[in-house]
Amino acid sequence: MALQIMKLLNGQELAGFIKERHGRQVRALRASKIYPQLAIVQTKDDPVIDTYVGLKQKYGGDIGVEVVLHKVGQPEVPKLLDTLSADSSVHGVIVQLPLEDPERTHEVVNLVDPSKDVDALGEKSRFEPATPMAIMWLLSGYNVDLAGRKILLIGRGKLVGAPLEKLLKDSGHNVTVIDREIPDLKSYTQEADIIITATGSPALLYPDMIKNGAVVIDAGVASEEGKTVGDLAPEVYERSDLTITPRKGGVGPLTVCALFENVIRAASNVKS
């Protein structure tokens, strides 16, 4: 019997190729006197948020996109978004979630100019959402065939679950969407060929909950004892039969790439 070896879906590896392409695209824009700029509006101090903002700042710096962070109180956000919308030097604007007052999320994200809404959180955004785009890139990059397979999506959040559900269903795939609180979660996960988790609930999935040979994409992010963790229990990585995102470097690096894909598109739409 052949020894089974876990196959890692290494987003960091794919991100390297995309980053090279982005660098070339930005250099071409700058040669045309277009200087791409991304504005990040952050209202809440949180270690997970700070980590992701830092990754965006580094990526932007590496490819030549200026990333400007605006840390403000939530009452100041509407006026700031008006200012950024009117500023022709700003090509992309994101509101870093969660807000201080999450109940106003829908209202706030829809204040972003649709032509600059590179996170695609507003109803009229002209772009594809970054994390769902990253997940699809990851699956495609490693030739994971979705046709005819049972896909389970855990989580209906605004950032990942809801837009990914639409993307998958629009593409005609067999996808079931559930919340993390559903009774007998195990009965759903054991039937799925492909599991995508996006709940931000540490140790949501354990080894005995996943069928043999399944594909597992962990897109969840949470903070636990000062560390950034995903939805999978550490023991899941003891399974040798899975095709799975690594503990670090799975969806995250490609999400940053997908965001800047949109920023570059927004800048490319500017007439010099």
Give the Cα separation of 240 and 247 in Å (integer). 15
Q: Which one from 25, 37, 56, 231 is the annotated catalytic residue?
A: 56
Residue whose tokens read 């070896």 = 5
Token pair in block for residue 200: 């931000």
Cβ atoms of 56 and 40 within 8 Å: the answer is yes
Give the Cα separation of 270 and 263 in Å (integer). 11
Q: Which one from 25, 42, 113, 119 is the annotated catalytic residue?
A: 119
Q: How far apart are the first and last CA of the chain?
A: 62
| 3-state SS, residue 94 | strand
Interior angle at CA 49, CA 45 and CA 52, nearest 5: 145
71 is catalytic: no
Give the Cα separation of 25 and 132 in Å (integer). 22
Q: Which one from 42, 96, 116, 218 is the annotated catalytic residue?
A: 96
96 is catalytic: yes
Q: Give the containing element (helix H, strand E) for 224.
A: strand 222-224
Residues with Cβ within 8 Å of 25's Cβ and at least 6 positions away in sequence, in order, are: 264, 268
Strand order in the sheet with 194-197: 7-8, 243-244, 215-218, 194-197, 151-154, 175-178
19 is catalytic: no
Cβ atoms of 190 and 212 within 8 Å: the answer is no
Q: Which residues are catalytic?
A: 56, 96, 119
